[in-house]
Amino acid sequence: MRYDNGHKRETRIRILKTAADAVRADGPDRVGVAAVMRQAGMTHGGFYAHFESKDALVEASIEHMFDEALARAQKRLDGRTPADGLAAYVDSYLSDAHREARAHGCPLVALASDLPRQSESCREAYAAGMRRLVQALAERLATAGYADPEPLARSVLAELVGAVSLARCETDPHRANAMLADARRLLKARLGLEQC
């Protein structure tokens, strides 16, 4: 049976969503093609109609994760004043829910420790996604009137990623929640968003 291009695209997206969740949850090295295809409701043999290799799947899933992360960020920022949007983004990123959402959270946090050991193409996909997030945040910071928005965006993202990474490593949930609450309060104070 032949399928049209729309069906092939939908199937590829289903595989990418499944792979992205698996890569975030377990790391790229522990993801198996057969398991991803099974989770996506497909046979292992269908994999090669969409990807040349596991590495190509991981690279494409990283790109997909960043597409999702940008869409989530835009959703938090859109329809709000620049300051309110930034505050909402900080609150969401440094939330207990994001800390617990290993399979669905930001790829910056999920993959930072794994990417240095991955292929150059996977590292390039991660770096390109990171630059896209920095640019989106820098544009919002510029709109809000902050000086040097791009370096500030890199600094803010580093603080967000670091706080969530450390909170995910903390075994005591109360301490983990306190780490996130402190990071939210101090980052919002640094950005002058205490009242938002």
**Residue 157 forms part of a structural domain:** yes
Residue 191 DSSP label: T
Tokens of 188: 């919002």
Which residue would you say has higher pLDDT here, 8 or 29? 29
Kindly report the average pLDDT of the chain as a whole number: 93
**Residue 51 forms part of a structural domain:** no
Query: pLDDT-derived band of residue 23, with 50, 70 and 90 as boundaries?
Result: very high
Output the CA–CA distances (angstroms, integers) from residue 44 to 26, 32, 54, 107, 109, in the order listed.
19, 10, 12, 26, 29
**Taking CA 41 as the corner, what is the angle to CA 40 and CA 44, rounded to the nearest 5 degrees?**
85
How does pLDDT run across 59-77, given as a tens digit for each residue? 999 999 999 999 988 888 8
Q: What is the CATH number of the domain that holds 171?
A: 1.10.357.10
DSSP code string of 74-107 = HHHHTTS-HHHHHHHHHHHHTSHHHHH-TTTS-H
Residue 95 DSSP label: S
**Residue 105 forms part of a structural domain:** yes
How does pLDDT run across 35-62, given as a tens digit for each residue? 999 999 988 888 888 899 999 999 999 9
Integer Cα distance of 84 and 33 in angstroms: 42
Q: Structural domain of residue 124, as residue ranges?
A: 56-190
Residue with tokens 């791009």: 150
Integer Cα distance of 52 and 93 in angstroms: 34
**Residue 25 forms part of a structural domain:** no
For 31-189, strand residue ranges (E) read: none
How does pLDDT run across 69-119, given as a tens digit for each residue? 999 888 888 899 999 999 999 999 999 999 999 888 999 999 999 989 999
**Residue 15 forms part of a structural domain:** no
Residues 138 and 152: beta-carbon distance below 8 Å: yes
Count of the separate structural domains present in the chain: 1
**Residue 122 forms part of a structural domain:** yes
**Residue 150 forms part of a structural domain:** yes
